[in-house]
Amino acid sequence: MKTSRYNHFLPRGDGKVIAFNCRTGGLALMEEAKYQDYCHLVSHAEKIESLSRENRYGELISKLKAGRFLVEDQEDEVAQLELKNRLDRFDTSLLGLIIAPTLACNFKCEYCFEEVKKGHMSDQTVQALIDYVRDKAKGLKLFSCTWYGGEPLLRMDLIEKLSHAFMDMCREHQVAYGAAVMSNGYLLTGEMASRLKGLQVSGVQVCLDGPQRVQDVKRPLANGKGSYETIVRNLIEVKDILEINLRINVDRTTTKEDFVELLDDLEKNQLKEKIKLFFGNVEAANEVCINIAENCYDNKAFSKVEVLLHKIALDRGFTLEKLPAPLTFYCCAQSINSHIVDPQGKLYKCFNDVGIEERSCGDVRSQQDPFHPNLFPFLNWNPFKNESCRECSVLPLCMGGCPHRIVFRKERQENNCDSWKFNLEDMLEIVCQSRLRARAKAKERSHHG
């Protein structure tokens, strides 16, 4: 036996040690004495098998093996991870589509790369998309659909038409189906949420940039009026209908005071127990949003801000969405059976390219060509070819980071590492505290129940 290369141990200073394995996501809180036993095992690796028969070490070794903190001597974890990466990326039994029924939007955000894009999906394109999914349905196990825009709820009629067709096909071919929505939240009333739930939409991602005085400047309506009050009112209506993931966009203009003020307002409106928070690093992803580049964090700088904001939210009792979880690949851009579909039926591999036709990698009306010049670089990109990635102890959480930055923006790999590379230990402490508090709350509720 040997120790996994993806182990991380973090002494807390209270007689406990956080144990985390990046490959399995295994997380445990160990007694300091057990951690010292683990250290003894590490220093006597050649004796682990014989030590496993001793009462002192037997149970510990069994648990370490179950969480894959200990692996067999012959195991090549990097090679196994690479094989799993390839198997999952080229698995055609899973279909993932992010569909923009429209690129029109009722907002005029100061940094939005979709600012100049318009268009709605025609009846002909709707039918072509249905035919595209039907052609794939027979061999599928799972079809995952995300509604996106623009603002997708501007064309709820198209969402309903497509959803009914998708659900019927999935029932016919016994394919598991699930859906989600990415919305600015302005049209997301309780009535709208109920309609979405009836279409097997389980959750919604809504963005806020801060409290009202910030949100209404950065993310105003297209007519210049504020958006914040309506969004919060809608979240109150929706909170018991759909799961709400609240993305808070962060750049160098975001202040601690802004964030605290937003949390105050969410708590005042009894949303604290009903939403999951996560933080989005605003990027100057293409030429349209170059004007905001000076306000954007790189990943390393963002990782520090992310820890600060998580600590504040945790101290206030909010539920945090971001947890360290293993990936087999970074995003849909690397999956052969995942695409973003624009209103014209064009296929893309990245949100940043949607609506830029020269970045399209195909069309729902034609056979997919894996050697298409806008598709092949994503499918061919392999973080395991990079020595720093192969040797990295957090590779399973990052899988090389954003492929778009490497393939099209030609950034250096060292600038592409995910924030876990820089803040894992701090975030593990936050996750540990969050789980301990959740456990204490559950225990308290059971006593009162």
3-class secondary structure per residue, the chain: CEECCCEEEEECCCCEEEEEECCCCCEEEEEHHHHHHHHHHHHCHHHHHHHCCCHHHHHHHHHHHHCCCEECCCCCHHHHHHHHHHHHHCCCCEEEEEECCECCCCECCCCCCCCCCCCECCHHHHHHHHHHHHHHHCCCCEEEEEECCCCHHHHHHHHHHHHHHHHHHHHHHCCEEEEEEEECCCCCCHHHHHHHHCCCEEEEEEEECCCHHHHHHHCCECCCCCCHHHHHHHHHHHCCCCEEEEEEEECCCCCHHHHHHHHHHHHHCCCCCCEEEEEEECCCCCHHHHHHHHHCCCHHHHHHHHHHHHHHHHHCCCEECCCCCCCCCCCHHHCCCEEEECCCCEEECCHHHCCCHHHCCEECCCCCCCCCCCCHHHHHCCHHHCHHHHCCCCHHHHCCCCHHHHHCCCCCHHHCCCCHHHHHHHHHHHHHHHHHHHHHHHHHHHHHC
Backbone φ and ψ of 162, nearest 5°: -70, -40
* Alpha carbons 40 and 176: distance in angstroms, whole number: 47
Query: Of 233, 340, 323, which Cα lies nearest the Cα of 278?
Result: 323
* Side-chain half-sphere exposure of 90, counting CA atoms within 13 A: 12
Asked if 342 and 98 touch (Cβ cutoff 8 Å), the reply is: no
Check: CB of residue 405 under 8 Å from CB of residue 413.
no
Contact 404, 113 (CB under 8 A): no
Identity of residue 236: I
* pTM metric for this prediction: 0.91
Question: What token pair was written down for 162?
Answer: 């497509």
Q: Whole-angstrom Cα distance, residue 166 to residue 228? A: 33
Residue in the structure block whose two tokens are 């949303």: 271
CB 6 within 8 A of CB 22: yes
Adjacent-strand bridge partners of 179: 145, 201
* 255 neighbors 295 (Cβ within 8 angstroms): no
DSSP bridge pairs for 182: 205
- Paired sense of beta strands 16-21 and 94-99, if any: unpaired
Domain edges within the chain: 2-75, 77-449
Would you write out the chain's pLDDT as a tens digit for each of its 449 residues?
899 999 999 999 899 999 999 999 999 999 999 999 889 888 887 777 777 777 788 888 889 999 999 999 999 999 999 999 999 999 999 999 999 999 999 888 776 654 555 689 999 999 999 999 999 998 899 999 999 999 999 999 999 999 999 999 999 999 999 999 999 999 999 999 999 999 999 999 999 999 999 999 989 998 999 999 999 999 999 999 999 999 999 999 999 999 999 999 999 999 999 999 999 998 766 555 555 678 888 899 999 999 999 999 999 989 887 788 999 999 999 999 999 999 999 999 999 899 889 999 999 999 999 999 999 999 999 999 999 999 999 999 999 999 998 888 788 887 889 999 999 999 999 988 888 887 877 777 777 66
Q: How far apart are CA 310 and CA 325, in angstroms?
A: 17
End-to-end CA distance of the chain: give it in Å, rounded: 46
- At residue 125, φ and ψ (nearest 5 deg) are -70, -35
The CATH number given to 77-449 is 3.20.20.70
